[in-house]
Amino acid sequence: MTSLILQTAVRYLLPLLLLFSLFVFVRGHNDPGGGFVGGLIAAAAYALYAIAYDTRAARRVLRIEPRVLIGLGLLLALGSGVIGMIKGAPFMTGQWNTVTWYGLGKVEIGTPMFFDAGVYLVVWGVTTTIIFGLAEEE
C-alpha cells in the first residue's frame, strides 16, 4: 500500500535527516553523538524512503552500493591509524594539524575525526545493507 502523504513527506525529510546525521557526526567530538549515531540516522533516512517507495527506489536515490560505503569506511578508519605509524608513533595514535580556513579561522584537524568518519560510513553501509536485505521481496 502506498501513501501519497508519506511519499511527499519523505521527499522533504530525506535531505533534512541526512543533514541532521552530519550535524550529529560533527557535534560528536565534543558532545554526545559521533560517527555511530550519525550513521544510524543516515541509514534510517533511507529506510524511511524504502518504506515510502520501495528498496529499488531507495537504492537509486542512494546512488552508491552500501557495501562500497562499508569498504570506504574501513579504509578511512585504517588509514587514520596508519598515519600515526608513519610519523613514528604506535598504530591509532592521534595526530593533529592546524589548518587555516577562510571564514572559520584556525581549525585543528585530527586523525580521530577521520576514524569517526570511517565509523560513520561503516555503520551507514552495514545498517542500510541489512535494512534493504530485509525489505526486499523474493
And the C-alpha cell for 49? Answer: 524512503
Q: Cα(125)–Cα(115) distance, rounded to whole angstroms?
A: 15
In this predicted structure, what is the pLDDT of residue 22? 94
pTM of the model: 0.89
Q: For the segment 59-100, what is each residue's pLDDT rounded down to a tens digit? A: 999 999 999 999 999 999 999 999 988 888 899 888 888 888
Q: Where are the domains of the chain?
A: 4-135
CA-nearest of 74, 61, 79 to 121 is: 74
Q: For the segment 15-24, what is each residue's pLDDT rounded down to a tens digit? A: 999 999 999 9
Name 115's Cβ contacts closer than 8 Å, sequence gap at least 6: 35, 76, 77, 80, 81, 92
Cell 521481496 belongs to 137
Residue 40 contacts residue 88 (beta carbons within 8 Å):
no
